[in-house]
Amino acid sequence: MLELIDTHAHLDEIADLDGMIERARAAGLVAIVAVGVDYASNNRILEIAAGHKGFVLPALGMHPQNIGDRADVERNLRFIEDHIAEAVAVGEIGLDYHKRTLAGGAGKEIQRGVLGDVLAIARRFGKPVSVHSRYAWRDALEAVKGVGIKTAVFHWFTGPLNVLREALECGYYASATPAVTYHAEHRRAIREAPWDRLMLESDAPVIYGGDVSIPRPSEPADIAARVLPGVSELRGVEVGFAASITTENARGFFGL
Domain boundaries along the sequence of the chain: 4-254
Q: What is the pLDDT of residue 118?
A: 98
* CA dist., res. 111 & res. 67, Å (int): 8
- Residue 12 near residue 34, CB atoms below 8 Å: yes
Please spell the DSSP secondary structure of 201-226, one letter per residue: ---TT---TT-TT--S---TTHIIII
Residue 79: pLDDT over 80: yes
Q: Which of 220, 149, 153, 216 lies closest to 190 in space, CA to CA?
A: 153
Tens-digit pLDDT profile for residues 123-174: 999 999 999 999 999 999 999 999 999 999 999 999 999 999 999 999 999 9
Please, which pLDDT band fits residue 66 given cuts at 50, 70 and 90?
A: very high
Q: What is the pLDDT of residue 211?
A: 57
Tens-digit pLDDT profile for residues 201-229: 999 999 887 655 567 899 999 999 999 99
**Percent residues over pLDDT 90 in the chain:** 93
Q: What is the pLDDT of residue 212?
A: 55
The answer regarding whether domain 4-254 maps to CATH 3.30.300.10 reads no
Q: Is the dihedral of CA 63, 64, 65, 70 positive or negative?
A: positive
Helix, strand, or coil (residue 11) = helix
Tens-digit pLDDT profile for residues 99-132: 988 888 899 999 999 999 999 999 999 999 999 9
Q: What is the pLDDT of residue 180?
A: 96
pLDDT averaged over every residue in the chain: 96
Residue 63: pLDDT over 70: yes
Q: What is the pLDDT of residue 147?
A: 97
H or E stretch at 173: strand 173-176
Tens-digit pLDDT profile for residues 167-184: 999 999 999 999 999 999
Helix, strand, or coil (residue 170) = coil
